[in-house]
Structure 1
């Protein structure tokens, strides 16, 4: 199995994405979506941004590598009565079943950044976007002090080194890499805009309980706990993550979690 597919089908990311809904909707509200626009949401999960895009009148195709998340997205769209929102399996590195110049907008929020071949990802996103359309990515930033970059940094310290040739998904959070990757896909530097923005995780549980969701349902953290368990360091990993979540929690109530995270918002004019 494709290791990326195995990673995101491990656990149940919908448990995490439920805490991302408010910020997903807020992010979509900034995209200037108009009725009838054709949008691909790439690495869509169960529709944290795809569903709000359809609610604003767009025709949305959600594409994700994980079959369980595709099924969950279709279930959510059906429950919401959104006939213009469908989800299908696909690989961001190879969208060969999708014709050139199909979409007015391609959106990928913390999705395509995890695909293993970033130059192929950029090329495919540009290929399926109509001339005059745009691409919007949300990418976590390496070394950022906020929660997601720190979760991945902590987790990586407990897992075996990646295979030779591995390109970290966090490299999508560096502006020069974004410019180079889209540049090779034919986009001029002046048609690429990068700006920092904030995405907030909101959970109706304590930070300690929220760590439990990542431990049990988030592929990268699950892998870190599997490796830590073998080395007798599971308690250390648990403590590091619990300290991180508690220190970054902005909620006024101890039984709630509100953690803002900084990301790079990329806008590409095609």
Structure 2
């Protein structure tokens, strides 16, 4: 099995995605989608941005490497009565069954950044986008002090070392790498814009319960806990993450969780 597929099928990201719905909806408003647009949501999970885009009238295809998330997305589309939305399995590094210049908008929010071979990912996103269309990515930023970057940083200190040749997904949060990858795919540097934005995780439960979801359902965190416990360091990891979640919770009640996280929003506009 593709190790990336195994990672994201290991848990159940829908449990995390439930806390991301409002920000996903708000982001779709900022991006701007509507009737007449054909949209590809790449690394879509169960539809945090794909469903809002379809609700606004776009014809949306969600592609994800994890079969369980594709199934969950299709169930959500049926439950919402959205016949303009479907989900299928696919790898952002090689979208073999998608033809050239098919989509007005390609969106990938914390999705394609985790695929291997980042130059291939950029090339594929450009290839399937219509001339004059747009690509919008949301990528976590390495070293950023907010939640997700710190989760991944902490977990990497406990997890086994990556295989030789591994390219960290966090490099998608570095301006220079983003520009290099898209210019290599034929995009002029002037057609690439980068800005910091905020995604908010919200859950009507205490931070301990929110962390429990990451421990039980988020592949990278699950792997870190397994490695830490095997090394006798499970309590150390848990304390680090408990402190992190508590520190960043901005909810006014201890019974709720509201944690903002900074990310890099990338907008690419292939020339018409």
TM-score calculated relative to the size of structure 2: 0.99
Paired residues of 2:117 and 2:167 also in contact (CA < 8 A): yes
Match of 2:58 in 1: 58
Runs of 4+ in structure 1 over 4 Å off: none
Match of 1:269 in 2: 269
Alignment of 1:131-170 (within 5 A): 131-170=131-170
Name the CA distance, whole Å, in 1 between partners of 2:91 and 2:33: 25
Q: 1:34: how far off?
A: 2.3
- Alignment partner of 1:18 is 2:18: yes
Match of 1:232 in 2: 232
Name the CA distance, whole Å, in 2 between partners of 1:36 and 1:63: 20
Match of 2:83 in 1: 83
Name the CA distance, whole Å, in 2 between partners of 1:109 and 1:251: 24
Name the CA distance, whole Å, in 2 between partners of 1:196 and 1:222: 28
- Alignment partner of 1:114 is 2:103: no
SS of corresponding position for 1:30 = helix
RMSD: 0.5
Name the CA distance, whole Å, in 2 between partners of 1:229 and 1:236: 9
Name the CA distance, whole Å, in 2 between partners of 1:204 and 1:7: 27
SS of corresponding position for 2:81 = coil
Match of 1:36 in 2: 36
Paired residues of 2:93 and 2:117 also in contact (CA < 8 A): yes
Name the CA distance, whole Å, in 1 between partners of 2:35 and 2:179: 30
Aligned residues: 270
Name the CA distance, whole Å, in 1 between partners of 2:32 and 2:219: 32
Name the CA distance, whole Å, in 1 between partners of 2:253 and 2:153: 28
Unaligned runs of 5+ in 2: none
SS of corresponding position for 1:176 = helix
SS of corresponding position for 1:267 = strand
Q: 1:156: how far off?
A: 0.3
**Structure 1 residues 54-104: Cα deviation after superposition (integer angstroms, max 9, x where no partner):** 001000000000000000000000000000000000000000110000000
TM-score calculated relative to the size of structure 1: 0.99
Match of 2:99 in 1: 99
